């Protein structure tokens, strides 16, 4: 049972006990020495889905039946009133309550003195659904990560084993192909592990940015060159009218994180966007000045009902060939720079990812405007 919120001493003295119990984040049921329910707070009523009159003044075994997953009566098993007088309560346990509800239940025994007569049993109640969802999510994450790691590791192990055992039987061209595959799978593993580490930092709010001056146009042009060398399709960089006429403001940002943002967006467009990608860099007209980057593709686009979900962790829609991590990292990195990222529809009907970043200048530098 969680601790109640701390209160100033004078307020705690003046506030009735019943009112203080209503401040508890968990449900509270107080049972007297006669095994009759004497008090129920509002949260307990919500968790149980019951009315106050259904519980108050009734024997606890009838009004609040509790059983373990095997169907055993929890009250008969614990027997707070006739059990050992040295017991002080029970730690949290998952039990089945009225109407088959899963509940997390704790109990504390209030005695006249240590080992003395039992005066009250304080039962703490919490809805188990949130914890069960968290456990299912954790299991899903572990299964997804294991699957994503296993595929490239299996490939690397298979090719290295073949090369070591039958090196003389392969031609130079076959050896080169196998080594290139090993290198590609090793790079995939490195990216996946890096994304998992980034996610843990984002979730724990421990992402550290190493800011410095960043020329975003130069950064994006390097992506164009790398994309051309990889032969994954056509990537075109365009400057908007204001960017051509007034220039692109310099960003004070973490260059490595922005590299990852636009690598992930371009990689996502390569996988789902039909092969032709257009990146448009424009000067943002707001105050203070900033930049807007559009990444457009010619694929099937993103359904309107999925446009918020694409940035969720491990979400990849019907496509099971990706981890569903890349866009989650994109949003985390962009928001860490006080920017925004969204997805809409491009002029060709494909997807358009839009990143807005402020061109902030640190306080310790002189105004460059």
User: Is 123 in the same domain as 137?
Assistant: no
Flag whether 289 is in a domain: yes
User: Is 92 in the same domain as 158?
Assistant: no
Flag whether 4 is in a domain: no
Mean pLDDT of the chain: 83
The strand pair at 89-96 and 234-239 is best described as unpaired
In this prediction, residue 224 carries a pLDDT of 86
Q: What is the mean pLDDT of the segment spanning 272-296?
A: 85
Q: Three-class SS of residue 101?
A: coil
pLDDT, one tens digit per residue, over 208-235 is: 888 999 999 999 998 888 777 666 678 8
- Residues 6+ positions from 225 with CB-CB distance below 8 Å: none
User: Is 16 in the same domain as 81?
Assistant: yes
Flag whether 278 is in a domain: yes
In this prediction, residue 262 carries a pLDDT of 93
Flag whether 339 is in a domain: yes
**Count of residues for the chain?**
369
Distance CA 192, CA 195 (A): 5
The secondary element (H helix, E strand) that includes residue 164 is helix 129-166
- Residues 6+ positions from 326 with CB-CB distance below 8 Å: 195, 264, 267, 268
User: Is 218 in the same domain as 352?
Assistant: yes
User: Is 223 in the same domain as 194?
Assistant: no
Q: Answer yes or no: are the C-beta atoms of 292 and 282 closer than 8 Å.
A: yes
Distance CA 99, CA 102 (A): 9
In this prediction, residue 8 carries a pLDDT of 45
Report the CATH number at residue 229.
3.30.565.10
Separation of CA 282 from chain center: 31
pLDDT, one tens digit per residue, over 324-369 is: 678 888 999 999 999 999 999 998 889 999 999 998 666 555 554 4
In this prediction, residue 17 carries a pLDDT of 66
Total structural domains within the chain: 3
pLDDT for residue 138 is more than 80: no
Distance CA 206, CA 332 (A): 11
Residue at a domain's end among 95, 127, 159: 127
Structural domain of residue 307, as residue ranges?
A: 212-358
pLDDT, one tens digit per residue, over 181-217 is: 898 788 878 877 877 788 778 877 788 888 999 999 9
User: Is 304 in the same domain as 264?
Assistant: yes
pLDDT for residue 300 is more than 90: no
Cis peptide before 288 (omega within 30 of 0): yes
User: Is 259 in the same domain as 344?
Assistant: yes
User: Is 122 in the same domain as 165?
Assistant: no
pLDDT for residue 135 is more than 90: no
User: Is 232 in the same domain as 278?
Assistant: yes
Flag whether 369 is in a domain: no
Report the CATH number at residue 145.
1.10.287.130
Q: What is the per-residue DSSP string for 28-65?
A: EEEEETTSBEEEE-HHHHHHHT--GGGTTTSBHHHHS-
Counting runs of H as helices and runs of E as strands, what totals does the chain give?
11, 12
List the alpha helices (DSSP H) in the chain: 9-14, 17-21, 42-48, 60-63, 74-78, 129-166, 172-203, 216-230, 241-246, 255-272, 326-336
Residue at a domain's end among 96, 127, 158: 127
Q: What is the mean pLDDT of the segment spanning 25-30?
A: 90
Flag whether 366 is in a domain: no
User: Is 76 in the same domain as 114?
Assistant: yes
Residue at a domain's end among 110, 127, 144: 127
Flag whether 363 is in a domain: no
In this prediction, residue 368 carries a pLDDT of 45
Q: Three-class SS of residue 241?
A: helix
User: Is 184 in the same domain as 75?
Assistant: no
Per cent of the chain over pLDDT 90 is 33
Flag whether 95 is in a domain: yes
User: Is 160 in the same domain as 71?
Assistant: no
Q: What is the mean pLDDT of the segment spanning 60-79?
A: 90
Q: CB neighbours (10 Å) of residue 112?
A: 10
Report the CATH number at residue 64.
3.30.450.20
pLDDT, one tens digit per residue, over 139-164 is: 666 666 676 677 788 888 988 999 99
pLDDT for residue 282 is more than 90: yes
């Amino acid at each position: 049972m969680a601790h109640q919120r701390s209160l100033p001493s004078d307020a705690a003295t003046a506030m009735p006990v019943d009112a203080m119990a209503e401040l508890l984040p968990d449900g509270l049921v107080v049972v007297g020495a006669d095994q009759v329910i004497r008090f129920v707070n509002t949260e307990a009523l919500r968790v149980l889905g019951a009315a106050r009159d259904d519980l108050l003044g009734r024997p606890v075994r009838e009004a609040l039946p509790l059983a373990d997953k095997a169907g055993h009566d929890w009250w008969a098993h614990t027997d707070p009133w006739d059990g050992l007088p040295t017991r002080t309560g029970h730690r949290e346990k998952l039990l089945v309550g009225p109407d088959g509800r899963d509940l997390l239940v704790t109990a504390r025994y209030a005695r006249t003195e240590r080992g003395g007569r039992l005066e009250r049993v304080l039962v703490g109640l919490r809805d188990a659904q949130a914890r069960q969802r968290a456990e299912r999510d954790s299991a899903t994450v572990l299964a997804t990560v294991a699957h994503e790691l296993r595929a490239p590791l299996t490939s690397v192990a298979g090719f290295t084993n073949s090369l070591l055992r039958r090196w003389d039987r392969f031609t130079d061209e076959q050896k080169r192909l196998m080594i290139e595959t090993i290198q590609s799978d090793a790079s995939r593993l490195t990216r996946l592990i890096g994304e998992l580490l980034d996610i843990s930092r984002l979730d724990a709010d421990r992402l550290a940015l190493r800011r410095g001056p960043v020329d975003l146009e130069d950064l994006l042009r390097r992506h164009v060159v790398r994309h051309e060398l990889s032969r994954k399709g056509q990537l075109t960089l365009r400057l908007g009218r204001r960017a051509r006429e007034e220039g692109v403001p310099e960003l004070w940002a973490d260059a490595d994180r922005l590299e990852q943002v636009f690598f992930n967006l371009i990689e996502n467009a390569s996988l789902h966007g039909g092969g032709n990608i257009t990146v448009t860099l424009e000067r943002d007209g707001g105050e203070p000045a900033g930049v807007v980057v559009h990444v457009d593709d010619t694929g099937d686009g993103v359904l309107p009902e999925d446009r918020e979900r694409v940035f969720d962790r491990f979400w990849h829609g019907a496509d099971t060939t990706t981890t569903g991590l890349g866009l989650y990292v994109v949003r985390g990195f962009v928001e860490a720079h006080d920017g925004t990222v969204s997805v809409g529809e491009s002029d060709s009907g494909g997807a358009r990812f839009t990143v807005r970043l402020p061109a902030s200048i640190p306080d310790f530098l002189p105004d460059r405007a």
